[in-house]
Amino acid sequence: MKLALATWNGRISPLFDVARQVLMLDIEGGRVVKRHAESLPGTNSIAQANSIMALGPDALVCGAISKPLAGLLAAMRVRVIPFTAGNVEEVLAAWMARTLPNPALTMPGCCRQRGLCSGAGAGDGNRRRCHEKRRCHENRDTVNRQGNIR
C-alpha cells in the first residue's frame, strides 16, 4: 500500500491545498519498505489532485483540505484522512498502529477533538453533539453518479 503524508517542516502540513511536499511511503507487511519526498505544485486544486494521482497513493494524511480538492481526490479513489496535525513520525506511528484519526493528532479547534459537529448557526458559536458514533467528517465529501461533488 502507498501512503502520502502532506508535510511541512517535519510536521503535517496545515493546509493541503497549498502544500508543497508529500512524504511517500510504501508499506508492506506492516513495515515501511520505502520512503521518499515528492514535490507538489501547491498552486490550485486541479494541479494538486493531478500530482497526487501521478504518485498513486492509496491514502493521503493531511491537515485541512477544501471540499473541492477532497472531492477530486475521492473521485480518484484516494482515501483522505483530513484535519490531522503533529510530527510526521508520530502521525506515521499512529497510521501503522491503525489509530488514525486520533483526537491527540487532530488539528486544534477541529470538532473531532471533542466529538462535536458544526450545526445550524455554526459560526455564531452554536454547536451540537455529533449524531454519528463514528468520525464526524468521515466520507463527508462524496461524488454522485454524475461525478458531481455533494
Question: What is the CATH classification number for the domain harbouring 34?
Answer: 3.30.420.130
The C-alpha atoms of residue 21 and residue 38 are separated, in whole angstroms, by: 6
User: How many domains are contained in the chain?
Assistant: 1
Is residue 88 one of the residues assigned to a domain?
yes
Q: Is residue 123 pLDDT above 90, yes or no?
A: no
Least confidently predicted of 46-55, 67-76, 106-115: 106-115
Is residue 100 one of the residues assigned to a domain?
yes
Cβ atoms < 10 Å from Cβ of 69? 22
What's residue 108's pLDDT?
Answer: 84
The three three-digit cell numbers of residue 128, written as one number? 451540537
Is residue 59 one of the residues assigned to a domain?
yes
Is residue 117 one of the residues assigned to a domain?
no
Q: Is residue 140 pLDDT above 70, yes or no?
A: no
- Whole-Å CA distances, 12 to 25, 89, 115, 130, 138: 14, 10, 22, 26, 19
Is residue 121 one of the residues assigned to a domain?
no
| Average pLDDT of the chain, as a whole number | 80
Least confidently predicted of 49-63, 65-79, 120-134: 120-134
What's residue 110's pLDDT?
Answer: 61
In the block, residue with C-alpha cell 468521515: 138
Work out the pLDDT band at 109, boundaries 50, 70, 90: confident
Work out the pLDDT band at 111, boundaries 50, 70, 90: low
Is residue 149 one of the residues assigned to a domain?
no
Q: For 42-64, b where at least 16 C-beta lie within 10 A, e where not — what string?
A: beebeebbebbeeeebebbbbbb
In the block, residue with C-alpha cell 464526524: 136
Q: Is residue 122 pLDDT above 60, yes or no?
A: no
Q: Is residue 144 pLDDT above 60, yes or no?
A: no
Is residue 116 one of the residues assigned to a domain?
no
Domain extent, residue 81, equals: 2-108
Is residue 21 one of the residues assigned to a domain?
yes
